[in-house]
Amino acid sequence: MYSQIFQLHADVYAALSNPKRLEIVHLLRDQEMSVSQMVEMLGLPQANLSQHLMVLREFHLVTTRKKGTNIYYKLSHKNIVKSSDLIREMLIGQNRGNENLTEELRLKMKDMVPLVRDPVCGMRLSPKTAGRALKQKGKTYYFCAEGCENKFVNKHK
């Protein structure tokens, strides 16, 4: 039984080993979302998103609810967010001062408390929970995911 727990643990890490799936977990951290909402926010084709969601469902990391023709997803347990945040904190701590990393990763954790809104979709997030960050004209913008960042960049060219 002891080795089975390690295998299950490894399976969860395997399911989360894709950056887009981690981005999906970030999107779902505080809310339930429909597939169409995630497609728009992530900038992924629906077929690609569905494949990622299938992996997350297979390992019981997300649950679904159907309402009409829409399928809504949410994280199956609050500790998924906690574990993701702990790993991010560890990575930030290990790489503090590394000039090859983005500004976000060089920030100190105590500076990551303020809440902001994604300028595209309006989602509440913080620099700690943002999926993306963009510095433009001396201001830093935080986004829930790549799709919102791309929309912002295209609109402000």
How does pLDDT run across 57-94, given as a tens digit for each residue? Answer: 999 999 999 999 999 999 999 999 889 888 877 876 77
Per DSSP, the chain holds a count of helices (H) and strands (E) of 7, 7
Residue 112: the pLDDT is 46
Measured between its terminal Cα atoms, the distance across the chain in Å is: 56
Closest to 131 (Cα-Cα) out of 28, 15, 55, 32: 28
Highest mean pLDDT among 22-26, 34-38, 51-55: 51-55
Alpha-carbon dihedral of residues 24, 28, 34, 38, nearest 10 degrees? -30
Report helix, strand or coil for 132. Answer: strand
Residue 97: the pLDDT is 61
